[in-house]
């Protein structure tokens, strides 16, 4: 099978739970949260069942990367914004075209849904400079600062 970016389907659940576990292990900024396979399952089915959310994966004989996002109106406007919920590429598959292809597919979905902008964030602490570089090459510009306080 040739590599393809495609929507998630119910058969992807186990692979995405495994990917979520690897993401959590690698993303030190989220280590204050206990990993929950059950929560990944809830999130997975929420994405599958909500037309205002999307889950896409890069499948090359197995899932090598995944992205999820949502679309919503701003609290002050009916204009639509799409936000990326997460983007993860397996460590052994990084440095190629997977992240770019997933992001471009998300952009196509957001455009088709009527979004006037996409907002992304780099909060996991996984190769942050490299990830920001990818987004900059795709035309994204810094617009905000994110801060965190662990309670």
**In-domain check, residue 82:** yes
**In-domain check, residue 146:** no
**In-domain check, residue 99:** yes
**In-domain check, residue 145:** no
**In-domain check, residue 15:** yes
Structurally, how many domains does the chain consist of?
1
Could you tell me the CATH number of the domain that includes residue 13? 3.40.630.30
**In-domain check, residue 143:** no
Query: Residue 59: its pLDDT value, please?
Result: 94
Q: What is the pLDDT along the chain (151 residues), one digit of tens a residue?
A: 688 999 999 999 999 999 999 999 999 889 999 999 999 999 999 999 999 999 999 999 999 999 999 999 999 999 999 999 999 999 999 888 999 999 999 999 999 999 999 999 888 778 888 888 889 999 999 998 888 888 9
**In-domain check, residue 142:** no
Query: Residue 95: its pLDDT value, please?
Result: 87
Q: Name residue, tokens 């929560």.
A: 39
Q: Which domain holds residue 43?
A: 4-137
**In-domain check, residue 76:** yes
């Amino acid at each position: 099978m040739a590599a393809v970016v495609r929507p998630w389907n119910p058969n992807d659940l186990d692979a995405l739970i495994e990917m979520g576990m690897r993401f959590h292990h690698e993303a030190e900024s989220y280590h204050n949260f206990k990993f929950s396979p059950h929560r990944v399952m809830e999130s997975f089915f929420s994405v599958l069942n909500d037309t205002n959310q999307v889950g896409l994966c890069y499948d090359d004989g197995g899932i090598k990367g995944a992205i999820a996002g949502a679309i919503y109106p701003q609290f002050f406007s009916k204009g639509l914004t799409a936000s990326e919920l997460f983007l993860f590429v397996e460590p052994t598959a990084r440095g190629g075209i997977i992240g770019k292809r997933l992001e471009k597919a998300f952009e196509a979905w957001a455009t088709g849904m009527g979004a006037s902008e996409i907002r992304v964030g780099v909060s996991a602490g996984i190769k942050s400079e490299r990830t920001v570089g990818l987004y900059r090459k795709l035309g994204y510009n810094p617009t905000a600062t994110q801060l965190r306080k662990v309670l």
